[in-house]
Amino acid sequence: MTEPIITFKNFSFKYDSQAFPTLQDINLTINRGEKILIAGPSGSGKSTIGRCINGLIPNIDTGTITGECLINGKNIKETDLFDLSFTTSTILQDTDSQFIGLTVGEDIAFALENDCRPQNKIRQTVHRWADKLEISDLLKQAPQSLSGGQKQTVALAGVLIDESPIMLFDEPLANLDPASGMKTMALIDQIQKELNATVIIIEHRLEEVLSQPIDRVVLVNDGKIIADKSPNDLLHQNKLEDIGVRSPLYLTALTKAGVDLDAIPDLTSIKALPDDEKIGQKLQKWADDASLTSKKEEKQPLLELKGVGHRYNHLQVNPLRDVTATINKGDFVSIVGQNGAGKTTLCRLICGFIPNEGKILFDDDDLSQYSIKQISEKIGYVMQDPNQMISQKMIFDEVALGLCLRGYSKDEIKDKVFKTLKICGLYPYRHWPISALSFGQKKRVTIAAILVLEPDVIILDEPTAGQDWKTYTEIMSFLKKLNEQGKTIMIITHDMYLMMEYTNRSLAFADGKLIADTEPIRLLTEKSLIKKASLKRTSLYDLAHKYNLRDPNYFVRAYVDSERTSQNA
Amino acid sequence: MHDQNQILGYQPGTSFIYQLNATTKLIFMLLVSAACMITYDTRFLLAICVFSIILFKEAQIKWSQISFIVKFIVAFMILNLIFVYLFQPTYGQEIYHSRSIIIHAGYFTLTIQEVFYLFNLLLKYICSIPIVLLFLLTTNPSQFAASLNKIGISYNISYAVALALRYIPDIQNSYWAISAAQQARGNELSKKAKLSQRIKGTLNIIMPLIFSSLERIDTISTAMQLRRFGSKKKRTWYVARSFKKEDYWVMGLSVLSILIVILLWQLNHGRFYNPFM
Amino acid sequence: MKKQGLSVKNVVAIGIGSAIYVILARFTSIPTPIPNTNIELVFPFLALFAAIYGAKVGFAVGFIGHTLSDFIMYGQTWWSWVLATGVLGLIIGLACKKLDLKNGIFGIKQILLFSITQIIANIIAWIIVTPIGDIIIYSEPVNKVFVQGISATLSNGITILIVGTLLLKAYAGTKIKKGSLRKED
């Protein structure tokens, strides 16, 4: 029963606003009921393929089409967006902007309201789907008040009511904590089986998507399809990392240990790996051979939090409260926990943006006596969205702003800004307008603008959220360099592997409370903590367990260590 | 910082007024405000004033919920009355065709007629305020949008209003987040700063706020089109409610107020009630 | 979907624009040394939105934004002023097609066009619409409403002239073509 529902035939597309085609000569057939992953780095054109499938191209994004693209038998050139929306349901990457209704119920009902269905029918349908997805008790809440996982489920409900044959997910994992990410993948799988829908997932986080069965992976790079294979074949081919897509951690670990991947029939999950003692021995030997580089330094307290907390208003259920911790000079701290646990609140407190119930000492100096401006000379804060920080047109001016406002002389400003731009690798672009930069570069501009004031501590809110592996590595290795130069760095993150590889300490939050302050690896050894903070073990643990390695933690540590050293080289 | 900058908005509750249909409340508010706008009849304005204060008590709204706004309004109105007086102290006697002097002061000579006119102007400003506040505090914004649509405004505009109400808190949060980040950079926004500095500093908040919002507009409109907003000439509303007996009573009342104003116009031979003749 | 009066994007622009209007009207009014005169940074914002999205959006953002902000701040609205704000957005929006901001061009010619349009818009809004409204609705003294109108024209006109031009220039700057840039060592 292989009936094609989506066909691209010699398809190319050029946006009007761009000089070169974004998609070139695409040939792709997707059959009814298939579950497809479209993967590729940022700018590869994978999202553009998605925008053809839901009809945004050519209805909203104008451009030149050559070749043919048929969705459920309709040529996208001749089909209007509204017609196509009955065929393709789209869940956008940023669920926050997908939520238009004031309450969950209204939001789910949105498409039916637009179809002008009678109110009682709408209510029935909304309740049916809410029951099915177990979100009935959320119907009267505001979408913004939900956790990341709940948001994703609500967004799903909002398109499921259409019961379209095709469901398109644009980077569903980008804004989710690890545990919610896994749940979402499982939910997608369950829905697909029930409705027998065609599911297309656009994501660059391969390992997480592969936690559920996938029929085919379409790998896109530079506007071309470079692979269209079953996940197993693709993983055997082993060329993901050449184009900047991270391959699953357990496979990298196996390769490091010298295991021949070609000899393993099924690579798609750890469960599917063969129970072969030889593999276990190889892994064990590799771990034993690894000598851990242990840094033991004198620790000098820099930032002391004593009973810190804040309540936004009396309706808030779990306000941040009673946080006590000491950050030492040179620490690289990760702040983790489920969405809404109080992570961002903590950072804003430290910077003096919002009032604080407790006490914060910086170098034994009480911060409450200082203004926001004065604190920022000791502690710099980089917001998640660079667009909310950038107020100038040119890179130089943006970085110089803080100095200008502090009355430095022209020469001093030039000197300091150029020095900072060199550190951040932005010097060649110093006369560029910021609007011409990529996301990663913009992020670096905002970091440079903070760095130029020479704070001892830099706090970053989710610096890598939604970024592909290349940008991720770029940002993180830059932060690592700063850390090595003596800056104390704190980051909020959902990425468990990032936490382990880059940071030496983790603060985990749940429901407004600090529930752990320990080494990242230790954090992931305690099951109760993992559950409370909505974290997830990396697949390295599962691999270690599968082959009964003596000390799984030691194995993970050895792996992280070898990655660290290979990056320094 | 956030608390003193609170903006008035819907606060859930259970009293009688919450039970009314949003369309009813909208019609009531519009008609009664219009009536107050048309007439200068002191008796009518006083009656509405008393009525709306009673309504306020009924709705169990606490003083603390509205105190800051009332102070704001009173200050503004006193200023406005002073201006009206300064510009034309004789306006009252022109309207009421008589002149009874209270204080002799050349140009600024104060007459009873002027005081009476100013008193009427004050009543006009304040009598409908409690009604508007009540409407804001007791009407769910989505039902408000639905009711706009119901009284004949196109659903596009109705939905735009719903979006505005939906995004005011979001934009406000962004505003304060950006503001804090800019202060950290060294922007002086307090009253101490020089005028030009304050303008520049505020501009540094406005620019990122607007430009990030422009992107938001693109994503939201895409999301809405993917779910077929605007595909039909009409749309239905999940939250719309049907009319009950009370709704018809209240609507009748608001139509009555307009009728009374027309009647008064006839009786007074114009908008002003003149006790001096 | 193109046949109807308002595109979906315009609907969203009106909604978000009005929300921004409310916030800016509330928080970015800067008092000047001249008594009872504030610099209202919300008007340059309105001018920018009108210049980007055109007359319909300009009118609606001014009208809805002003109504909501009056209601939310004062529990009362002055319809004569609300209408004037709408008219201000409408007239500036009329110049939108000629300005062609979307292609990143905002030179001397466009700045002149924008300045003249906004001055005319201010005059019509505050010296014609508002006073007439104030007289009809509130029966306020004629000289008072015109003096108020002239002072509003001056303060808002100057604010839009300086800050509005800056905003439009900045917006046009974000539309610069990327091909013209080169790295330097």
Expressed as residue numbers, the domain containing A19 is 4-245
pLDDT of B167 above 70 = yes
With respect to residue B125, please indicate whether it lies within any of the assigned structural domains.
Answer: yes
Shared domain for A122 and A212, answered yes or no, is yes
On whether the CB atoms of residues A233 and A53 are closer than 8 A, the answer is no
d(C-alpha B125, C-alpha B72), whole Å: 13
Q: Quick check: helix, strand or coil at residue A447?
A: helix
Enter the pTM of the model.
0.90
Nearest Cα residue in chain A from C174: A435
Q: Quick check: helix, strand or coil at residue A517?
A: strand
On whether the CB atoms of residues A404 and A413 are closer than 8 A, the answer is yes
Give A12's strand partners: A66
- Condensed to tens digits (0 to 9), the pLDDT of residues A266-292 reads 998 898 999 888 999 999 999 888 877
With respect to residue B232, please indicate whether it lies within any of the assigned structural domains.
Answer: no
With respect to residue B277, please indicate whether it lies within any of the assigned structural domains.
Answer: no
Question: Who wins on pLDDT, A43 or A334?
Answer: A334
With respect to residue B188, please indicate whether it lies within any of the assigned structural domains.
Answer: yes
Distances (CA, A) of B21 to A107, A181, A478, B242: 21, 41, 58, 7
Token representation of residue B233: 């000439």
- How many helices (H) and strands (E) chain B has is answered by 11, 2
pLDDT of A151 above 70 = yes
Mean pLDDT taken over chain A: 89
Shared domain for B126 and B256, answered yes or no, is yes
| pLDDT at residue A314, rounded to an integer | 67
pLDDT of C113 above 80 = yes
Shared domain for B26 and B130, answered yes or no, is yes
Mean pLDDT taken over chain C: 88
A345 class by beta-carbon count within 10 Å (0-12 exposed, 13-18 middle, 19+ buried): buried
Overall fold of domain C8-175: Arp2/3 complex 21 kDa subunit ARPC3 (1.10.1760)
- Of A24-33, A275-284, A458-467, B177-186, the poorest mean pLDDT is in A458-467
Distances (CA, A) of A532 to A48, A180, A510, A514, A529: 38, 12, 6, 11, 5
Shared domain for A134 and A234, answered yes or no, is yes
Shared domain for A12 and A159, answered yes or no, is yes
A515 class by beta-carbon count within 10 Å (0-12 exposed, 13-18 middle, 19+ buried): middle
With respect to residue A389, please indicate whether it lies within any of the assigned structural domains.
Answer: yes
- Of A220-224, A510-514, B129-133, C114-118, the poorest mean pLDDT is in B129-133
d(C-alpha A502, C-alpha B201), whole Å: 36
pLDDT of A567 above 70 = no
d(C-alpha B47, C-alpha B29), whole Å: 15
Q: How many residues does chain A have?
A: 569
List % helix, strand, coil for chain A (3-state, nearest 5): 45, 20, 35
* DSSP-derived secondary structure for A289-342: HPPP--------EEEEEEEEEE-SSTT-SS-EEEEEEEEETT-EEEEEESTTSS
Chain C residues at the A interface, defined by Cβ less than 8 Å, are 1, 170, 173-176, 178-179, 181, 183-185
Shared domain for B19 and B129, answered yes or no, is yes
With respect to residue B7, please indicate whether it lies within any of the assigned structural domains.
Answer: yes
* ipTM confidence: 0.89
Q: Which amino acid is at C8?
A: V
With respect to residue A295, please indicate whether it lies within any of the assigned structural domains.
Answer: no
* DSSP-derived secondary structure for C27-41: H-EEE-SSTT-EEET
CB contacts, 8 Å: C142 with chain B: 88
β-pair type (C29-31, A224-229): unpaired
Q: Which of B189, B228, B243 to mutate to test the interface with A (most CBs of A within 10 A)?
A: B228
Residue reference for tokens 């997932």: A201
Peptide bond into C35 cis (omega under 30): no
Shared domain for B193 and B103, answered yes or no, is no
Q: How confident is the model at residue B5 (pLDDT cuts 50, 70, 90)?
A: very low
Shared domain for B29 and B110, answered yes or no, is yes
pLDDT of A236 above 70 = yes
Shared domain for B201 and B97, answered yes or no, is no
List the Cα angle A541/A544/A547 in 5-degree steps. 145
- Condensed to tens digits (0 to 9), the pLDDT of residues B190-227 reads 777 788 888 888 999 999 999 989 988 998 999 999 99
Sign of torsion, CA A527 A529 A531 A535? negative
On whether the CB atoms of residues A24 and A12 are closer than 8 A, the answer is yes
Q: Where are the domains of chain C?
A: 8-175
- Does the beta-carbon distance from A430 to C184 stay under 8 Å? yes
Q: How confident is the model at residue A176 (pLDDT cuts 50, 70, 90)?
A: confident
Query: CB of B206 within 8 Å of any CB in chain C?
Result: yes
Expressed as residue numbers, the domain containing B51 is 3-140+242-268
On whether the CB atoms of residues A383 and A376 are closer than 8 A, the answer is no
With respect to residue A558, please indicate whether it lies within any of the assigned structural domains.
Answer: yes
CB contacts, 8 Å: B161 with chain C: 15, 18, 64, 68
- Does the beta-carbon distance from B221 to C11 stay under 8 Å? yes
With respect to residue A26, please indicate whether it lies within any of the assigned structural domains.
Answer: yes
| pLDDT at residue A295, rounded to an integer | 63
- C-alpha dihedral over B25, B31, B37, B38, to 10 degrees? -170
Helix (H) or strand (E) holding A509: strand A505-510
d(C-alpha B139, C-alpha B23), whole Å: 10
Distances (CA, A) of B222 to A85, A105, A157, B271, C130: 12, 20, 18, 51, 37
Give B19's strand partners: none
Residue reference for tokens 């709940």: A150
Most confident of A139-143, A202-206, A332-336, C137-141: A332-336
What total number of domains does chain B contain?
2
d(C-alpha A222, C-alpha A22), whole Å: 8
Mean pLDDT taken over chain B: 86
What one-character DSSP code corresponds to residue A28?
A: E
Q: Quick check: helix, strand or coil at residue A559?
A: helix
What one-character DSSP code corresponds to residue A273?
A: S
What total number of domains does chain A contain?
3
With respect to residue B231, please indicate whether it lies within any of the assigned structural domains.
Answer: no
- Does the beta-carbon distance from C1 to A430 stay under 8 Å? no
pLDDT of B1 above 50 = no
Sign of torsion, CA A469 A475 A476 A481? positive
With respect to residue A104, please indicate whether it lies within any of the assigned structural domains.
Answer: yes
Of C174, C183, C184, the CB nearest to A435: C174
Shared domain for B82 and B194, answered yes or no, is no
With respect to residue A296, please indicate whether it lies within any of the assigned structural domains.
Answer: no
Shortest Cα–Cα distance, B214 to chain C (Å): 8
A25 CB-side CA count, 13 A: 2
Among the listed residues C51, C103, C109, C61, the one whose alpha carbon sits nearest the alpha carbon of residue C82: C61
Query: CB of A325 within 8 Å of any CB in chain C?
Result: no
- Condensed to tens digits (0 to 9), the pLDDT of residues A411-465 reads 999 999 999 998 888 898 888 888 878 777 888 899 999 999 989 999 999 888 7
Shortest Cα–Cα distance, B249 to chain C (Å): 25
Backbone φ and ψ for A310, nearest 5 degrees, come out as -160, 140
With respect to residue B134, please indicate whether it lies within any of the assigned structural domains.
Answer: yes
pLDDT of C168 above 60 = yes
Please state the three-class secondary structure of A84-134 as a single string: HHCCEEEECCCHHHHCCCCCHHHHHHHHHHHCCCCHHHHHHHHHHHHHHCC
Helix (H) or strand (E) holding A63: strand A63-71
Shared domain for B222 and B256, answered yes or no, is no
Shared domain for A51 and A171, answered yes or no, is yes
pLDDT of C180 above 60 = no
d(C-alpha A508, C-alpha A494), whole Å: 11
In the β-sheet with A4-15, what is the strand arrangement from edge to edge? A23-31, A4-15, A63-71, A74-75
d(C-alpha B239, C-alpha A108), whole Å: 12
| pLDDT at residue A136, rounded to an integer | 92
Shared domain for B100 and B71, answered yes or no, is yes
Backbone φ and ψ for A223, nearest 5 degrees, come out as 80, 5
Question: Who wins on pLDDT, A542 or A437?
Answer: A542
Task: Tell me what percent of the residues of chain B surpass a pLDDT of 90.
Answer: 31
Rounded to an integer, the average pLDDT of B108-128 is 88
Shared domain for B25 and B106, answered yes or no, is yes
Shared domain for A11 and A113, answered yes or no, is yes
With respect to residue A192, please indicate whether it lies within any of the assigned structural domains.
Answer: yes
Q: How confident is the model at residue B44 (pLDDT cuts 50, 70, 90)?
A: very high
pLDDT of A318 above 50 = yes
- Does the beta-carbon distance from C176 to A433 stay under 8 Å? yes
Those chains having 3 or more beta-carbon pairs within 8 angstroms of chain C are A, B
Backbone φ and ψ for B101, nearest 5 degrees, come out as -80, 140
With respect to residue B171, please indicate whether it lies within any of the assigned structural domains.
Answer: yes
- Condensed to tens digits (0 to 9), the pLDDT of residues A394-414 reads 899 999 999 998 889 999 999
pLDDT of A376 above 50 = yes
Shared domain for B120 and B249, answered yes or no, is yes
Of A98, A118, A348, the CB nearest to B223: A98
pLDDT of A148 above 90 = no
The answer for B 165-184 residues in CB contact with A (under 8 A) is 165-166, 170, 174, 177-178, 180-184
Question: Who wins on pLDDT, C34 or B87?
Answer: B87
Shared domain for B125 and B247, answered yes or no, is yes
Shared domain for A283 and A377, answered yes or no, is no
| pLDDT at residue C3, rounded to an integer | 42
In sequence order, the 6+-apart residues with CB closer than 8 A to the CB of A492 are A334, A335, A336, A343, A344, A347, A460, A461, A462
- Of A343-352, A433-442, A450-459, C61-70, the poorest mean pLDDT is in A433-442
